[in-house]
Every structure is written in structure tokens, then in C-alpha cells.
């Protein structure tokens, strides 16, 4: 029994850390369904930065990016089927639907291809999922709103890209948060597609029909647009939960400096795409990886605003880097059910 315990402990030690088996001949494809906002652009840029270096360093043989021409599920399903035929060893996917792509995903798995979904994750059991707890993100928005608006009041909800797992999860978290804080009531809901321009138009359209709003809960990429819509309508600016975009943070700082306006910002880092890449590479290298790999949200409170704002280019999104070694630690924390390594702070 003692010998078995020692062997088990040794196996656990060997499973920890970065898997170093040779993957220089392996090809990884990235199937992306949408690139129409600053978060998605930063996500693609982050992926490109880390994968170009990985190819140059001969860690992998290829790491190609494929973005669909539209947001439709059949287009991405056909893309995945093409990637199967092209002989990729792994497919990283940001999916247009949590379940409508499951048939194509299963085909890839049956062909021996590692599939890692992230951001827009899939429900097909054979796929790995790099996840942010988006439901918790929605709950946190209401928790924070209760601090800024302790008396409660009417809320406007801005939803994201319809049909995606992210939109469904954040919305569910917001509803759960409101159920725990009955002093709030959602009196209106619009679709913003995680895009400032779309959100501004949608909010501007619904505002005349709404009672006074004390707060806006959203999904990221829509806070600035919402603020512009309220300003254009001549209505007082409510507490708008921000989504880590540069224009949102700059507006927050401007309003705070001018009149003490305070809010809260949170979201997934666009570089979660880097985590998904390294998870795929580590699986190909033989590392033991759970089907669900959780990655922490990045939160910004008032004392941290200036530091984070300095790191973001105009039109960009707050981001962080996830090198291979850190991702291995994130995987190990998930396996051991230990606290996740924190999002790297600004340097």
C-alpha cells in the first residue's frame, strides 16, 4: 500500500508543471466566428503574438487563424470540417453557438483532433473548454451595483451576441443577482453585440420608453455607447458597469476627476486566446488536462483605474500575457482544485 501511495504521489508530481514533449511537428488551427469589436480584435492580436513566437521557436509547426466571413453557425461548421480535411492536430475554437457546432466538433474528435473551445465554448463532451465563469460575472455586476446604488432602482440590461454561451451565462448571472437583490428591477433589455456603436443605437432607441434608470448592467464593449446614448438623450448618467475597454475607462476617469463618478469594470482578458492555445499545445505534449480549465476574470476597482488605463492603447482592451509556464500553472491549479493564479498586474 505504501509503495502504491509513493507511486501515485510521483505520478502527480510528474503531471505537474510544463509538459516538454516535442510538438514541433504539430499543427494547431484557430476557428473564430466573429471579429467585429475591439475585444475580438485584441483577442486575435494576442493569439497571433504568442503563436508566431511558438512557431518561430519550433514549439509547434503551425498555428493558423481562420475567421469566418459572417456570424452564422453553418459557415463555422463548414470551416471546422475543412480544418479536419487539412490535417490539423488540434483546433482551438471560439464558437458561434454552444451546441449547434457539436456535430462538426464530434467529427474532429473522431478524427483524432484535439478540440479546445474558449470564450464561446461548446457543449460537445469530447471538447476541452477554457472557461471564464461568465455567470459569476453577471452576479458580480449586481453585487457591485448594490454598493453604488444601495437603495436599488431600475436597471437596463445590455445583452451580447445572441445565441452564444457567453451571452446566456452572463444574462443568467444577472438574473440570479437581481433575485438576490430584489431592490433592483430590470425594466429594459437591448442587444448590443458587444459593440459600442450597436449598443449606443439600441439604448438610444429604448430610452424614451423607460422610467428613470439608476444602473446599466452589460457584457463588455457597450458601456461607452450606453453613456453616449444617455448623454444624447439629456438624461442623468446612471452607474454603468464597464467592460475593461479603453474608451470606457477613459470616460470613467474623466467623470471621476470632474465630479467623483465611480463604477466598476470587469471582463475576460482577450488573451484568454493564449491560454486556449497553450492548453491545446500542452495536451499534444502529453500533459494531463481536465475537460474544464477555468481562467480568472480581470477586475478593476477605483484605486486601480489609473494603473490599468495606462496599459491600454486607444481603442483597445485591458489585457494580460499568458506564457506557457503560467498556463501550465493554471492547468495544475484546476486539477488540484487550488486557487487560480491571479491575472498578471500592469508592469
Give whole-number Cα distances, 165 to 95, 98, 99, 117, 175, in Å. Answer: 9, 5, 9, 11, 15
pLDDT tens digits for 242-255?
999 999 999 999 99
284 contacts 90 by C-beta, under 8 angstroms: yes
Give the phi and the psi of residue 152 in degrees, each rounded to 5.
80, -165
* Domain extents in the chain: 17-132+269-296+318-336, 134-267
Rounded Cα distance, 75 and 69, in Å: 8
Query: Would 17-132+269-296+318-336 and 134-267 be classified into the same CATH topology?
Result: yes
Helix (DSSP H) and strand (DSSP E) numbers for the chain: 12, 12
CA nearest to 33, candidates 165, 123, 133: 165
Rounded Cα distance, 13 and 126, in Å: 26
pLDDT tens digits for 115-161?
999 999 999 999 999 998 999 999 999 999 999 999 999 999 999 99
CATH 3.40.50.2300 fits 17-132+269-296+318-336, yes or no: yes
pLDDT tens digits for 321-341?
999 999 999 999 999 999 988
Rounded Cα distance, 233 and 284, in Å: 54
Instruction: Please name the residue ranges forming H helices in the chain.
Output: 2-15, 38-56, 73-85, 102-110, 134-148, 165-180, 196-206, 223-232, 246-259, 272-284, 305-309, 324-336
pLDDT tens digits for 54-73?
999 999 999 999 999 898 99
What does CATH list as the number for 134-267?
3.40.50.2300
Model confidence at 342: pLDDT above 80: no
Model confidence at 16: pLDDT above 90: no
Residues contacting 91, CB < 8 A, separation 6+: 28, 29, 30, 31, 80, 83, 108, 113, 114, 115, 116, 280
- State the chain's mean pLDDT as an integer: 93
pLDDT tens digits for 270-324?
999 999 999 999 999 999 999 999 998 999 999 999 999 999 999 888 998 999 9
Q: Residue 36's CB: how many other CB atoms inside 10 A?
A: 16
pLDDT value of position 3: 46
Amino acid at each position: 500500500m505504501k509503495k502504491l501511495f509513493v507511486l501515485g504521489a510521483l505520478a502527480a508530481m510528474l503531471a505537474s508543471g510544463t509538459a516538454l514533449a516535442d510538438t514541433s511537428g504539430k499543427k494547431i488551427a484557430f476557428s473564430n466566428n466573429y471579429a467585429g469589436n475591439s475585444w475580438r480584435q485584441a483577442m486575435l492580436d494576442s493569439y497571433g503574438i504568442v503563436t508566431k513566437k511558438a512557431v518561430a521557436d519550433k514549439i509547434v509547426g503551425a498555428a493558423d487563424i481562420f475567421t469566418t466571413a459572417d456570424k452564422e453557425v453553418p459557415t463555422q461548421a463548414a470551416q471546422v470540417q475543412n480544418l479536419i480535411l487539412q490535417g490539423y492536430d488540434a483546433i482551438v475554437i471560439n464558437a458561434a453557438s454552444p451546441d449547434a457546432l457539436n456535430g462538426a466538433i464530434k467529427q474532429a474528435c473522431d478524427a483524432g483532433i484535439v478540440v479546445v473551445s474558449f470564450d464561446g465554448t461548446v457543449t460537445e463532451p469530447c471538447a476541452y473548454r477554457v472557461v471564464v465563469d461568465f455567470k459569476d460575472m453577471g452576479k458580480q455586476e449586481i453585487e457591485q451595483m448594490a454598493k453604488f446604488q444601495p437603495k436599488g432602482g431600475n436597471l437596463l440590461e445590455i445583452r451580447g451576441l445572441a445565441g452564444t454561451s457567453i451571452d446566456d451565462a452572463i444574462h443568467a448571472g444577472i438574473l440570479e443577482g437581481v433575485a438576490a437583490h430584489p431592490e433592483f428591477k430590470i425594466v429594459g433589455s437591448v442587444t448590443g453585440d458587444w459593440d459600442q456603436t450597436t449598443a449606443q443605437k439600441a439604448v438610444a432607441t429604448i430610452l424614451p420608453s423607460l422610467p428613470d434608470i439608476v444602473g446599466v448592467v452589460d457584457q463588455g464593449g457597450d458601456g461607452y455607447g450606453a453613456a453616449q446614448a444617455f448623454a444624447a438623450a439629456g438624461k442623468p448618467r446612471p452607474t454603468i458597469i464597464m467592460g475593461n475597454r479603453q474608451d470606457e475607462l477613459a470616460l470613467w476617469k474623466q467623470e471621476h476627476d470632474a465630479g467623483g463618478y465611480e463604477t466598476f469594470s470587469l471582463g475576460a482578458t482577450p488573451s484568454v486566446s493564449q491560454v486556449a492555445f497553450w492548453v491545446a499545445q500542452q495536451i499534444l505534449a502529453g500533459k494531463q488536462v481536465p475537460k474544464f480549465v477555468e481562467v480568472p476574470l480581470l477586475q478593476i476597482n477605483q484605486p486601480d483605474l489609473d494603473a490599468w488605463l495606462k496599459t491600454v492603447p486607444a481603442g483597445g482592451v485591458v489585457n494580460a500575457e499568458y506564457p506557457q509556464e503560467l498556463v501550465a500553472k493554471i492547468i495544475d491549479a484546476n486539477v488540484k482544485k487550488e486557487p487560480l493564479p491571479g491575472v498578471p498586474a500592469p508592469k
